[in-house]
Structure 1
């Protein structure tokens, strides 16, 4: 797996964007991602849509590689760690997490994270609806901004459309950034792309396997 990075300044902090759908905050030794949606593949199968577990396993393989690469002391999931009711994917994830017991795990609860707090705590996650560290506030969905505040969120699964030759378009996942908000791409590959944005003066940092593109 190829990791391409781009450093940006946001909220007076230096953050490292990657082409692997995660953000690294070196000053906090924190790996940050959003929208893993554990359980989504099994949920679809329960409803008659044959999605293989290989989709989940590929996401976890990527996350393991990124943790081993960045060696973070903290892992923050900015919402939608899980997708639906408890299913067999949860057991796979719980077993997978055992290899990272020394990493502090933080969950900003998203709209899909509907279990009681005790459930997440038993998995080793500190849980919050919103959490502020230095100048940065983490929340799952974008909020109305307050002056002199900086927000990192997920939920939107942002993407961009790039016009190609003729009537063809290329869709790419991206980080969306303006002066006060940074929206993370969905970490799971099993998600769609939302190419609309409500942000003003936004810069899209789209990415491929080989590059991070400022658009």
Structure 2
């Protein structure tokens, strides 16, 4: 789905990604690489294929939009170094010309040397581009004249059908003061968003993105 926000065209992709055509920038939030491996280390039986599945979805997005820049808007890595992050290092070799930016989130705890070894450019607390300022947990520490785009809360929306069935979906939230991207990883929960007047919610369904 294509929308206009603050004078710029934005593409909301059903794979929980945001593309800015003017800047050839693909943005996602809350990738949480390493989360499944971290749970397995703690004795919780979580499939080992979660990280690979998320990276495959990301590959399809890169092939679709061919961005110059990939921006991860916080919580790229869930914890410390582990097998999932090794998978990322192998995956990344396919995209050596892709400019990779990370706006650090509360789970991004690797050392500066670790990020440098993976050729990840770090921005903290925000990365600003055009009328937007990407920050993991809005609306703080941004330039006042720019519109914050955040992540962190894993936004969701509940849709009630005609038969009163309730379906919950991840969503894009464009509020009066800031926006929130859906969590990219499929291994996350959802926090229900309740929009105010003139605020917009776009549900991410299995088939498409639709405004609700």
Name the TM-score class by shorter chain: over 0.9
Deviates more, 1:200-209 or 1:29-38: 200-209
Q: What residue number does 2:137 align with?
A: 141
The 8 Å contact of residues 36 and 186 in structure 1, kept in 2 or not, is answered as: yes
Q: What residue number does 2:14 align with?
A: 19
Q: What residue number does 2:155 align with?
A: 158
Q: What residue number does 1:3 align with?
A: none
Structure 2 residue aligned with 1:194, among 186, 191, 195? 191
Looking at structure 2, the residues matched to 197 and 121 of structure 1 have their Cα atoms a distance apart, in angstroms, of: 39
Structure 2 residue aligned with 1:68, among 45, 63, 66? 63
Distance 1:138 1:200, change over 3 A: farther
Q: What residue number does 2:128 align with?
A: 132
RMSD (Å), alpha carbons: 1.8
The alpha carbon displacement at 1:139 in A equals: 0.4
**Where do 5+ consecutive residues of structure 2 fail to align?**
none
The alpha carbon displacement at 1:11 in A equals: 2.3
The 8 Å contact of residues 72 and 102 in structure 2, kept in 1 or not, is answered as: yes
Looking at structure 2, the residues matched to 135 and 116 of structure 1 have their Cα atoms a distance apart, in angstroms, of: 31
Distance 1:200 1:113, change over 3 A: farther
Looking at structure 1, the residues matched to 171 and 192 of structure 2 have their Cα atoms a distance apart, in angstroms, of: 9
Give aligned pairs, total. Answer: 210
The alpha carbon displacement at 1:44 in A equals: 0.7
Looking at structure 2, the residues matched to 68 and 134 of structure 1 have their Cα atoms a distance apart, in angstroms, of: 24
Q: What residue number does 2:204 align with?
A: 207
* SS class of match (2:168): strand
Distance 1:143 1:200, change over 3 A: farther
Q: What residue number does 2:38 align with?
A: 43
**Where do 5+ consecutive residues of structure 1 fail to align?**
1-5
The alpha carbon displacement at 1:201 in A equals: 4.1
* SS class of match (2:32): coil
The alpha carbon displacement at 1:184 in A equals: 0.3
Deviates more, 1:122-131 or 1:104-113: 122-131
Normalized against structure 2, the TM-score is what?
A: 0.93
Matched, 1:80 2:79: no
Distance 1:49 1:143, change over 3 A: same
